[in-house]
Amino acid sequence: MKILGIDPGTKNLGYGIIEFNSKKEVKLIKAGVVKFKETDLQHNIKSFEKLFEPILEEFHVDEVAMETIFFAFNPKSVIKLAQFRGAILAKLLFRYEKIFEYSPLEIKKSLTGTGRGTKQDVNLAVKKFLSIEEEIKPLDISDALGVAITHLNSHLKKEC
């Protein structure tokens, strides 16, 4: 099973694909960040599909998981992110039956054992889980991989 994790952002969108194989091994397939240079939300929504379609086609992802919106102090930023996230969900729902969603608290708890972990704690947990020795930068990438790992953990708990 291949899982795509997405850490949505209107400037930087992190993504990570992991695979859980029949030997019950987890490996990193691809991870990166899509940087949006435009400030126009509509332009970035259109760009998402152009940039992401090749990734979905090449790696034949089975399931998609996305981080939900976190609490923020800037209402304009939250509204813009919510609109962008909704557009991404709509686009992905045409391809996948369901998009799984996890809050930052759920992700941190799944990876670090506590909901109070930092982005750096998530980064370290992702590196350990996937046996990655080099640095994962920017943190949007480890956040996206954390979403994918959280979904895998959730999926495995349901099987038990």
Residue 140 known to be catalytic: yes
Active-site residue among 7, 63, 106, 143? 7
Residue 67 known to be catalytic: yes
Q: Using alpha carbons only, what angle is made at residue 88 by residues 83 and 148, rounded to the nearest 5 degrees?
A: 120
Residue 121 known to be catalytic: no
Contact by Cβ (8 Å): 127, 93: no
Active-site residue among 19, 106, 140, 143? 140
DSSP H or E segment with residue 51 = helix 41-59
- Alpha carbon 37 to its chain centroid, in Å, reads 20
Active-site residue among 63, 67, 106, 143? 67
Active site residues: 7, 67, 140
